[in-house]
Amino acid sequence: MAISTGTKKIKTAVFISGTGSNLENLIKFSKLVKSPISIEQIISDNPKAKGLKFGKYFKIKTAVYNFRNINKAEKEILSDLRKKKINFICLAGFMKILSKKFIQNFRGKIINIHPSLLPKYKGLNTHQRVIKNKENFSGCTVHIVNSKLDAGKIILKKKVKISKKENSKSLARKILIQEHKLYPRAIKKLLSSL
């Protein structure tokens, strides 16, 4: 899939499972004149995902897929994305692991934001694990998605200092603020290099 970064924005889908704060942030970013993306679709595996409300609010199509049968769900999603000519995917708190086959359809064009300084603390419950291990720093990372969990090429990272009184909730809030700044910067960086 050829990507042109001229004045035409790249048709993008955002995949979510929860509250959608990164989604909301990306939608606002996509509306800026200098943004290289246009968000055309919001996809979720969770019909109760609070983030789906941003679809209604910003008039962006939403779709919920049942991942009980992952092959069926992925086939339906691919067909949907092709119809909408979507070339780029941002994962924003999407809690399902996409198959290698799905990822190969979008080589280097699926990115994810992870709430730790990768390659440290891949997977879930990152903030609890970071605090338990008495780390001095944590942060967030935007990376290209490949078939290994949280192991794709890193685009950008942001370091966050952990205070002595930090708990997992306060650290999550602190890192989320940085995620909102980092994700758009990473998208610009990646798409300007393609």
Q: Which of 75, 53, 79 is nearest to 66 (CA)?
A: 75
Residue with tokens 């708190």: 93
- Quote the DSSP letter at residue 152: S
d(CA 93, CA 31): 21
Q: Are 26 and 184 a contacting pair, CB within 8 Å?
A: yes
DSSP H or E stretch at residue 91: strand 88-91
**Residues labelled catalytic:** 114
19 exposure class (CB count in 10 Å sphere: 0-12, 13-18, 19+)? middle
d(CA 31, CA 125): 32
Residues linked to residue 13 through DSSP beta bridges, in sequence order = 41, 89
